[in-house]
Structure 1
Amino acid sequence: MHHFSYIDGRLHAEAVPLEAIAAQVGTPCYVYSTATLTRHYRAFADAFADLDATICYAMKANGNRAVLRLLTGLGAGVDVVSGGEMGLALAAGAPADRIVFSGVGKTKDEMAAALNAGVHQINVESEPELDALDAVARELGVRAPVAIRVNPDVDAATHAKITTGKAENKFGIEWTSARTVFRRAMTLEGIAVHGVAVHIGSQILDLAPFEAAFRKVRDLVALLRADGVTIDRLDLGGGLGVPYHADDHTPPPPSAYAAVVARTVGDLGCALTIEPGRAIAGNAGVLVSRVTYLKEGMTRTFAIVDAAMNDLMRPALYDAWHDIWPVVEPSAGVERHPIDVVGPVCESSDTFARDRSLPPLAADDLVAFMTAGAYGAVMSGQYNGRPLVPEVLVDGDRFHVVRRRPTLTEMASLEDLPPWLTDAR
């Protein structure tokens, strides 16, 4: 469910017309709904209320400070995958003891920063990382609270670029090596082993892969405890999908996901960490864009919009589908025609939709790319010299720009000419 709907023929975010935001902020711009973010977080919190579980929002989905402040204010922890994300989460007010630091390539500086901040847990993904963390912790005179991420070799049946739980993926310790690594970790002076971590992928629309992975985790916990390894935490990751297309298989609700967790690992006496990202932020946001030109070709019609692949990368990167809604509601029964919706960047991959059946569009029309709240703004860049897109948070009948569009002067301010070019003309 989301809070974007037509009211009196105009698409609104909650009670704010998107036309009003576009007029004040310009296009393209991202718009997020407080009501949707709140509803989705609470759906997870309520689903896991009977379990000893912490919902740690995966901020890689949407790391805007206002979004983080909203969710942590509701009680969420934060799952981070870099020192930068950790710093931003702390700056947004996230308590350090509710931060989980994941990721396969943590540097020693990032490890030290996490330990100095007092994060709840560091998820270790390889033996070299384990050794590096041990050394950093000993140098600081502390013991690092650790869960070791294992790779259960479970096919999540999702896009190849967002699956993380198969043997050929870069994530986690191979299943067959897990017991050996855990036993060794118990001997390291700078490591405090607490648990097992697992995450099998993203945009998963079926509970069966989760159940298979969690049952393997249950078996591993039994073996590790028999080996004398302390296991009092389970980090089960995220990955629950969202509907991008009306024909998509409807994702299971958080309550059904929680039921799988409860029946597979709920009786192991472990504190649980659940890390939804897309499922909270995905359909809480839209990207608003304006049609610049309508171009009629010999065989195709193109709507050229002012948003581009540098603003919303998912279609170019994954061939991902985003529903496209006109901001002015089409008349009932209006005839639709196939159209290609493309951006202005000088790449053929700067295409949002091919042969998409849409109502008539004209220059200056506003459109909204739906379900763009996750992996939209966070993946954006400045290719072709295009400024980063502003982000707007709506709450009821009010809205605020929570990241403004930088000026060209600001974009250039990070660059500097070498002395030998300063006087060149």
Structure 2
Amino acid sequence: MFDPALINRFHNLETPFYFYDLHQLKTTLKACSDAAFKHHFQVHYAMKANFNPRVLDTIRDFGFGADCVSGNEVKAALEHGFKAEKIVFAGVGKSDKEINMALDRDIFCFNAESVQELQVINDLASAKNKIANIAIRINPNVDAHTHHFITTGLEENKFGINTWELGSVIQKLRECPNLLFLGIHFHVGSQINDLEVFRNLCLKVNEMQLWFQEEGFTVKILNVGGGLGVDYHQPDENNIADFADYFKVFADYLQVNKAQEVHFELGRALVAQCASLISRVLYVKNGIKKNFLILDAGMTELIRPMLYQAYHQIENLSGDQRAGSEEEFMVGQQPAADSNEPATNYDVVGPICESTDCFRTDVALPESKRGDLIAIRTAGAYGEVMASGYNLRDRVQSFYTE
């Protein structure tokens, strides 16, 4: 992914920054679009994964819809040209202000997550003399077998409406004349690599849509969420998720009639592999038990490892150059005396005044030096969007290639 010419360009840029490979993004989007089109599935991009302007514009150009979880995400989707009729608004805590804005913009659908929310949307829509399209987010109690911080489909999670509440949902829908029921919505979690989880979800969706039909409600939309995982350990070998097998599970196990639409809300699988966080080594601290690489990027730029204990591949780009041919070295760099010298284990940490500010421990890297460029891979999802200004840090910048 990082050829010598690109690394040389990196050396002229102020770090840390996010590097976006827009060619990789477009290749991924095409793979997803082609696989979904085969089954007539519709995909909404989950904007919370990454709302970098260039990323949003690229996804819009492929014709995807937008899955939003805040009023400002709805605004951003509209500002970047996503069509209102392809925008869905999810989220367990929509404010009155956000709901009113979305009603004014005539978005496609609200994914409602509680009985009380149904009443609030109805009342606000009534005040505007509007009808709000509604999908009911159901908590299917399906275990995604991922980190408990990113599991959303169990009964102990805050998301969605539990199955034992569905009787109250039906009653509320019948009482609310300004709500138009479109369908049902599910999302069981994130970074799911076991396709059996999605098969189990299909069985639950089939059960739930039959229940609504028996209650006299036409289910037009089956929104099965997203959650497809990516390969954080081998980002070059597996740089595109297996969209074909993913969508085939739903084609094989989901019961769909000709009048229904199947919608997906994919985020991570579309954008994760298109970006890396590029940083520099500030200091090397060698000790008896530990060697530390202290970077100029930290948890303020990429918090996933600290928040979720998430793994990211870490590479020393300058060390790779030193281990290559002498013609590839930059001015002022010298080749390693022995390119076959054993790697050194480092704890790769950031500059933030928190002990948790550690990307990974015991990372085997070429012998590293102050000023070396470090790449933290597969950072396109939940990377830049979760950056903060803690410690009054400068906002992380972005760099792009086509």
- How far apart are 1:252 and its partner, in Å? 6.2
SS of 2:12's equivalent in the other structure is helix
Partner of 2:8: 19
SS of 2:43's equivalent in the other structure is strand
C-alpha distance after superposition, 1:315-371 (max 9, x if no partner):
111111111112232536441121111111111101111111111110000010000
- How far apart are 1:173 and its partner, in Å? 0.4
CA–CA distance in 1 between the matches of 2:284 and 2:399? 27
CA–CA distance in 1 between the matches of 2:179 and 2:42? 22
Q: Is the 8 A contact 2:19 2:277 kept in 1?
A: yes
1:354 corresponds to 2:361? yes
CA–CA distance in 2 between the matches of 1:287 and 1:274? 28
CA–CA distance in 2 between the matches of 1:50 and 1:296? 55
Partner of 2:155: 167
Question: Gaps spanning 5+ residues in structure 2: where?
Answer: 324-338
Q: CA RMSD in A?
A: 1.8
CA–CA distance in 2 between the matches of 1:359 and 1:33? 25
CA–CA distance in 1 between the matches of 2:18 and 2:203? 39
Misfit runs of 4+, over 4 Å: 249-252
Partner of 1:414: none
SS of 1:171's equivalent in the other structure is coil
Using structure 1 for the length normalisation, give the TM-score.
Answer: 0.86
Partner of 1:280: 270
1:328-347 equivalences in 2 (<5 Å)? 328=318, 329=320, 331=323, 333-347=340-354
Partner of 2:373: 366
Q: Which amino acid aligns with 1:19?
A: N
1:18 to 1:139, Cα distance in 2 relative to 1, 3 A = farther
1:243 to 1:372, Cα distance in 2 relative to 1, 3 A = same
SS of 2:93's equivalent in the other structure is coil
- How far apart are 1:185 and its partner, in Å? 1.2
Q: Is the 8 A contact 1:186 1:193 kept in 2?
A: no
SS of 1:146's equivalent in the other structure is strand
- How far apart are 1:53 and its partner, in Å? 2.2
Deviates more, 1:320-329 or 1:136-145: 320-329
Q: Percent identity?
A: 38
Q: Is the 8 A contact 2:115 2:168 kept in 1?
A: no
C-alpha distance after superposition, 1:279-322 (max 9, x if no partner):
01111100000001111123111111100111100111111111
1:318 corresponds to 2:308? yes
Question: Gaps spanning 5+ residues in structure 1: where?
Answer: 11-15, 396-425
Q: Among 238, 243, 249, which residue is 1:254 paired with?
A: 243
- How far apart are 1:393 and its partner, in Å? 2.3
SS of 2:285's equivalent in the other structure is strand
1:8-407 equivalences in 2 (<5 Å)? 10=4, 17-24=6-13, 26-246=14-234, 253-265=242-254, 267-269=256-258, 270-328=260-318, 329=320, 331=323, 333-395=340-402
Q: Which amino acid aligns with 2:6?
A: P
- How far apart are 1:246 and its partner, in Å? 4.0
Using structure 2 for the length normalisation, give the TM-score.
Answer: 0.91
SS of 2:38's equivalent in the other structure is coil
Q: Is the 8 A contact 1:179 1:224 kept in 2?
A: no
CA–CA distance in 1 between the matches of 2:361 and 2:38? 46
SS of 2:211's equivalent in the other structure is helix
1:90 to 1:228, Cα distance in 2 relative to 1, 3 A = same
C-alpha distance after superposition, 1:143-170 (max 9, x if no partner):
1011000000011000000000001000
Deviates more, 1:255-264 or 1:152-161: 255-264
